[in-house]
């Protein structure tokens, strides 16, 4: 089977264009309904910014995905891998439906937080419900432990961790979106190399949608991801870390299961260090502060743009290492 480069490129380009075009439409809607991030404590902007990014990114992923699926089913896309992709869509239809509904649900939860500033407990319960649904419907993390209870617990914990890692690190223009695009790209490459084309397509759709959003967010922000966007980014990356086969009997290299930790190293390290610091200072770990990696780099003398570029570079290097496992 020939590698479907053109189809992958079309997935990226379609998501990029859709997100880029959808953003100003969602931006106008956010301004009309006053869904904006107001200036305030710990904020880096001095005027209201529309929270349109998450809605645009979700549109950029789901619209090309649905269009591509319909075209494939109708036989309108002629590529060598079409039959394999259609077979995968049919075989994993329920799983894909749950994942798509989970993406919409987690975006809705983030939107409610953007709109109403949810308290920590109801926000966590919403995240937990989505994580439980995903763990029940998809492949789960095993880490070579033959226990169903362990696999459920590990998968739910992983989903909650990554979702909140990206929610936490969304604190500078372009940071969360750029890290999300890099993570999606690397997961797509890892999946494509193993012939897992559905995971690869999902990663490239996400990468394209985030790349289409970035011109509106970096270096100067005319729109933010908002909690809707950061939740969606974390959710999708957590799912893409679960779906590929990092370890198989044909490739018995157990260190490969560490690949997701490298791909997501920057947000995971940031989450760990701020949570530990807040706990040591007798503060709830979910209460925000200015002790993230990004804030520490700016206090060391880097500009905000330089800080974001440095963290992107670190993530790019870590992701490249992950591809070698």
* Contact yes or no for 84/1 (Cβ under 8 A): yes
3-class SS of residue 49: strand
For 197-265, give the secondary structure using H, E and C.
HHHHHHHHHHHHHHHHHHHHCCCCCCCCCHHHHHHHHHHHHHHHHHCCCCCCCCCCCHHHHHHHHHHCH
User: How confident is the model at residue 95, as a pLDDT?
Assistant: 79
Domain ranges of the chain: 5-252
- The verdict on whether omega for the bond into residue 122 sits within 30 degrees of 0, i.e. cis, is no
User: How confident is the model at residue 141, as a pLDDT?
Assistant: 86
Cα–Cα distance measured from residue 16 to residue 321, given in angstroms and rounded to the nearest whole number: 26
Structure tokens at 163: 């979702």
Alpha-carbon separation of residue 207 from 14, 39, 147 (angstroms): 11, 29, 34
Closest by Cα among 106, 110, 18 to 57: 18
Per-residue pLDDT of the chain (325 residues; tens, 9 = 90+): 456 778 889 999 999 999 999 999 999 999 999 999 887 555 555 578 999 999 999 999 999 988 887 877 777 666 656 666 666 666 777 778 888 899 999 999 999 999 999 999 999 999 999 999 999 988 888 887 888 999 999 999 999 999 999 999 999 999 999 999 999 999 999 988 888 888 899 999 999 999 999 999 999 999 999 999 999 999 999 999 988 755 444 454 566 678 999 999 999 999 999 999 999 988 988 888 889 999 999 999 999 999 999 999 999 999 999 988 7
Contacts 24+ apart (CB under 8 A), 140-144: 140/242, 141/242, 143/257, 144/254
pTM for the structure as a whole: 0.91
DSSP 66-117: HHHHHHHHTT----TTHHHHHHHHHHTHHHHHHHHHHHHHHHHHHHHHHHH-
* Contact yes or no for 266/314 (Cβ under 8 A): yes
What's the farthest any 2 CA atoms get from each other in the chain? 60
Residue 253: count of CB within 10 angstroms of its CB: 10
Structure tokens at 219: 């270096």
For 200, list phi and psi in degrees, rounded to 5.
-60, -45
* Contact yes or no for 184/61 (Cβ under 8 A): no
* Cα three-residue angle 4-6-11, rounded to 5 degrees: 95
User: How confident is the model at residue 252, as a pLDDT?
Assistant: 46
Closest by Cα among 319, 280, 274 to 171: 274
């Amino acid at each position: 089977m020939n590698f479907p480069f053109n189809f992958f490129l079309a997935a990226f380009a379609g998501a990029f264009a859709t997100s880029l075009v959808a953003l100003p439409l969602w931006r106008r809607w956010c301004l009309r309904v006053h869904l904006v991030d107001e200036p305030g404590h710990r904020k880096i902007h001095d005027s209201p910014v529309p929270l349109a990014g998450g809605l645009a990114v979700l549109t950029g992923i789901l619209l090309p995905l649905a269009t591509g699926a319909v075209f494939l089913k109708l036989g309108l896309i002629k590529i060598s891998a079409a039959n394999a992709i259609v077979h995968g869509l049919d075989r994993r239809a329920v799983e894909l439906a749950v994942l798509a509904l989970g993406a919409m649900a987690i975006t809705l939860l983030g939107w409610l937080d953007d709109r109403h500033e949810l308290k920590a407990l109801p926000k966590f319960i919403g995240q937990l419900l989505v994580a439980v649904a995903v763990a029940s419907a998809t492949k789960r993390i095993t880490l070579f432990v033959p226990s169903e209870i362990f696999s459920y617990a590990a998968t739910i914990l992983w989903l909650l961790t990554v979702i909140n890692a990206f929610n936490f690190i969304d604190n500078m223009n372009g940071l969360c979106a750029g890290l999300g695009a890099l993570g999606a790209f690397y997961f797509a490459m890892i999946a494509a190399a193993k012939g897992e084309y559905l995971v690869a397509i999902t990663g490239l759709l996400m990468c394209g949608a985030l790349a289409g959003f970035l011109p509106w967010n970096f270096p100067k922000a005319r729109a933010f991801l908002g909690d809707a966007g950061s939740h969606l980014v974390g959710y999708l990356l957590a799912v893409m870390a679960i779906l590929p086969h990092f370890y198989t009997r044909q490739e018995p290299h157990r260190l490969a299961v560490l690949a997701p930790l490298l791909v997501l190293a920057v947000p995971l390290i940031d989450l760990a260090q701020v949570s530990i610091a807040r706990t040591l200072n007798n503060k709830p770990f979910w209460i925000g502060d200015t002790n993230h990696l990004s804030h520490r780099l700016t206090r060391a003398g880097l500009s905000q743009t330089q800080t974001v570029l440095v963290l992107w570079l670190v993530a790019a290097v870590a992701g490249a290492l992950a591809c070698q496992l």
